[in-house]
Amino acid sequence: MHILVDISHPAHVHFFRNALNLWEKRGHRVSIVSRDKDITLELLDKYGYQHTCLSKARKGILGLAFELLEHEGKLYWMMRNDPPDIFLEIAGTFIVHAAKLLKKPSVVFYDTENATISNAITYPFATAICTPSCYQGRVGKGHITYSGYHELAYLHPARFQPDPEIINKLKIPQDKPYTIVRFVNWEAGHDVAQKGFSLQGKIRLINELNSFGPVFITSEAPLPRELEGFRFPLSSSLIHQAISFSSLYVGESATMASECCILGVPAIFVSPVGRGYTDEQEKEYGLCYTISDKEEDKAIFLALELMRNKSKEQWPMKRAKMLQEKVDVTQWMVQFVEELVKKDGDLEKVREIMRSFHG
């Protein structure tokens, strides 16, 4: 089986990497194409994946539209003489039209309901759209759901083990609480006209949290001079290890909020728009708090309250309940893709097979 995986964002490297390794071990041929965005290429190189970069991330509606044409055009010409058996991507916008022209199945993995424009030009062309069961958007006939979150593809206990050595690397005294903070640049297609913390809010948040212990910031956007000294000092590939032993996450990234929930760390997600998965993590498991950007004072107050709360026992218990009810997403994905190719893209047959999945 020949599998084409398009990696267009750093988080997508983590989502696919365990499945890529399993497919290769099972004798499948895997081709990877990529997009130059943030540290995507750096991560692919770090994990030793051969890949072909097809485009560089652009800004704004026109820039994203031009990049789409460039990326898809290169993908089609690259694959026209040796088409894969199946195309895979998170969000899927870069693969579905090329796959359609080549008469091959495409699978879109997604969890972001408010990406309305990209979803509208993607979903109708995809063979299957795989989402967490908590996804709140309208998808259509190709919709397949699983009981999990994207982040469980790489942070499930079967895939990830925390290493306490990270504490020494961060030079933190033993048992000293610390916080992870994430700021985004609001330039993704689904972030148009949205915003998070104000500059004053960022400075106040960090100064307040710093009174409890170290604060480490990861940021897509440039940091003001006052906050530059708080930037996460290690390789970004170690951020999940750092999250594992942290006391709190506050940030504008839904993905990182979900990562924290899966690792049993309380998460405050600040955004004008929620997500189906963070909503479920909040309502069903009590691991996340979603707060509007218009209420940043409330977010800061809650962060300080959580840091004052010395009781840590509740978070592992909440995490255990969540993990008990969710699947190993990598295992689910590997089986789903293999079955879809075996059944020549017959989604209904595969849907029936996957109903019995208990991994």
pTM, to two decimals: 0.91
Token pair for 220: 């897509």
- Say what the pLDDT of residue 182 is: 96
pLDDT interval class at 213 (50, 70, 90): very high
**In the predicted structure, residue 323 carries a pLDDT above the cut 80:** yes
**In the predicted structure, residue 60 carries a pLDDT above the cut 90:** no
Is 200 part of any domain? Answer: yes
Q: What is the pLDDT of residues 263-273, one digit of tens each?
A: 999 999 999 88
Residues 107 and 125 occupy one common structural domain? yes
Average pLDDT over residues 315-334: 96
Residues 216 and 334 occupy one common structural domain? no
- Say what the pLDDT of residue 312 is: 67
Residues 112 and 207 occupy one common structural domain? no
Residues 69 and 32 occupy one common structural domain? yes
Which string of DSSP letters, residue by residue, matches 218-259?
A: EESSPPPGGGGGGB--S-GGGHHHHHHT-SEEEES-HHHHHH
Is 133 part of any domain? Answer: yes
Number of domains in the chain: 2
CA-to-CA dists, residue 15 to 5, 65, 143, 355, angstroms: 11, 25, 19, 22
Is 174 part of any domain? Answer: yes
Residues 20 and 75 occupy one common structural domain? yes
Residue 6: which CATH number? 3.40.50.2000
**In the predicted structure, residue 185 carries a pLDDT above the cut 90:** no
- Is there a contact between 84 and 104 (Cβ–Cβ < 8 Å)? yes
Residues 181 and 293 occupy one common structural domain? yes
Average pLDDT over residues 292-299: 93
Find the domain containing 295 and state its range.
Answer: 165-324
Is 253 part of any domain? Answer: yes
Residues 332 and 320 occupy one common structural domain? no
Q: What is the pLDDT of residues 340-352, one digit of tens each?
A: 999 998 999 999 9
Is 79 part of any domain? Answer: yes
- Say what the pLDDT of residue 359 is: 64
Q: Which of 25-29, 124-128, 222-226, 333-337 has the lowest mean pLDDT?
A: 222-226
Residues 128 and 214 occupy one common structural domain? no
Distance CA 104, CA 202 (A): 47
Residues 174 and 287 occupy one common structural domain? yes
Dihedral sign for Cα 307, 309, 314, 316, please. Answer: positive
Is 302 part of any domain? Answer: yes
Is 359 part of any domain? Answer: no
Residues 336 and 317 occupy one common structural domain? no
Residues 35 and 112 occupy one common structural domain? yes
Residues 145 and 84 occupy one common structural domain? yes
**In the predicted structure, residue 210 carries a pLDDT above the cut 70:** yes
pLDDT interval class at 189 (50, 70, 90): very low
**In the predicted structure, residue 233 carries a pLDDT above the cut 80:** yes
Is 199 part of any domain? Answer: yes
